Amino acid sequence: MASDVPEHDGSDTQINRLITARQHLERAVATVLREAADVHRLDICGTDELPAALSALESADYVDSEEDAARWVSRAFTAYPTGLLTAGASDLEVALCGAVMMLRSALVELDEAKQVGPP
């Protein structure tokens, strides 16, 4: 079974990148959950799966389940800031959109940190 953890390249740089990326993901998850707590119109933010994805993210109890749930939230959140504003979204939905953008950025950083090779 292939692991998503890269082989150690002889330096701590790669491990440090992975640790930093995980920390950024943890902060992004916390921000998404904080912003989502006050949103009442998730229907304009994404697919019908968004509430379940957010619930899975909130209940994630270990690193892999948190990452999986974060990816689910990213897929289920389909709105863009301009679309939300056109749909009459409040500041709450727009703030959640910004938090999801941060989450996506953290996921990209994590994917890059998992790659074998120099930074």
Q: Give pLDDT tens digits for 54-90.
A: 999 999 999 899 999 999 999 999 999 999 999 999 9
Q: In this predicted model, what pLDDT tens digit does every residue of 36-56 receive, in sequence order?
A: 999 989 999 999 999 999 999
93 HSE (CA, 13 A, CB side): 22
Nearest to 44 by CA among 93, 1, 6: 93
d(CA 42, CA 45): 5
d(CA 86, CA 65): 34
Q: Is the pLDDT of residue 32 over 70?
A: yes
Predicted pLDDT at 60? 96
d(CA 73, CA 69): 6
